Amino acid sequence: MSAFRVIQALTAYQGLPLVHTFPFDETDPKAPQYTRPLDLTGRTVVAQLRGRPKVKVKLLKVLEDPPAPGVYSFKLILGGVEYPFTVTIEPGETAIDFVEKFLKAIANLDLEVKACAETCGAAGEVIVAWPWPGVEWDLVIVSQPEPDQIEIDDVQAADVLLATFTVQTATSGDYTAITIKLSGVQTGALPMAGDGPFNYRLTATKNDDPTDVLLLARGHLIVGRT
């Protein structure tokens, strides 16, 4: 495993895309006095954002796909006030449908709860966070049509995967340009007040040897308000 080639802080603004490009080169083995674009052949390039939020973070998991049809009841408790909401699943609807309906139901509460799926977690998962520290809140399942269809876990105690960047590579002159991107949806779902800086890592793992990892870039990511 190599040392990090770049250590650099980045800044993201909630609701706005973040795009950053890193240039990488390496010594040309045929002509050591020269460099060439970094060879990433046979490697998978991944960039992830992780952190230990000071605020409470919840993870909703859809355990069965498709989930049992029926009404799933929840309540969000914020400052001692309960906000009930439901998600209704029709026969044949999938975990993806559940996640979409859950996100819409959370948004309809018109609170400042941040919820993110797809680009922030695995399929059938939703990360939910309240962005303001010091405010007690909770998200609980009231009922579900059948046992063990969904569950809600606390995930803020350990290092949490907050988002996975979209990664693009291209040759640019004497360099391999690696561009990492977070969408506006992803940055909008990041907790901000009292949190961070979060940590990102850009790595390239050899496809046939997971222990062979190029540590390309790392650093803090600070989240600001637009």
Give pLDDT tens digits for 38-47. 999 999 999 9
Checking if the pLDDT of 154 tops 90, the result is no
pTM of the complete model beyond 0.85: no
The dihedral sign for the CA sequence 185, 165, 179, 19 = positive
- Cα–Cα distance measured from residue 59 to residue 125, given in angstroms and rounded to the nearest whole number: 7
Give the helix/strand (H/E) hosting 224: strand 209-224
pLDDT at 195 over 70: no
The mean pLDDT of 120-148, rounded to a whole number, is 82
Span 59-103, pLDDT tens digits: 999 999 999 999 999 999 987 899 999 999 999 999 999 999 999
Q: What are phi and psi of 101, to 5 degrees?
A: -70, -35
DSSP string over 119-169: SSSSTTEEEEE-SSTT--EEEEEEE-SSTTSEEEEE-TTS-EEEEE-EEEE
Q: Give the pLDDT confidence score for residue 128 in this predicted structure.
A: 87
What is the per-residue pLDDT for 55?
62
Rounded to whole angstroms, how far apart are CA atoms 21 and 60?
Answer: 33
Confidence band, pLDDT 50/70/90 cuts, at residue 1: very low
pLDDT at 58: 87
Average pLDDT, stretch 150-156?
Answer: 84
Does the pLDDT at position 109 exceed 60?
A: yes
Mean pLDDT of 198-217: 94
H helices of the chain, in order, are 95-108, 184-188
Share above pLDDT 90 across residues of the chain, in percent, rounded to a whole number: 63
**In whole angstroms, what is the distance from residue 196 CA to residue 13 CA?**
13
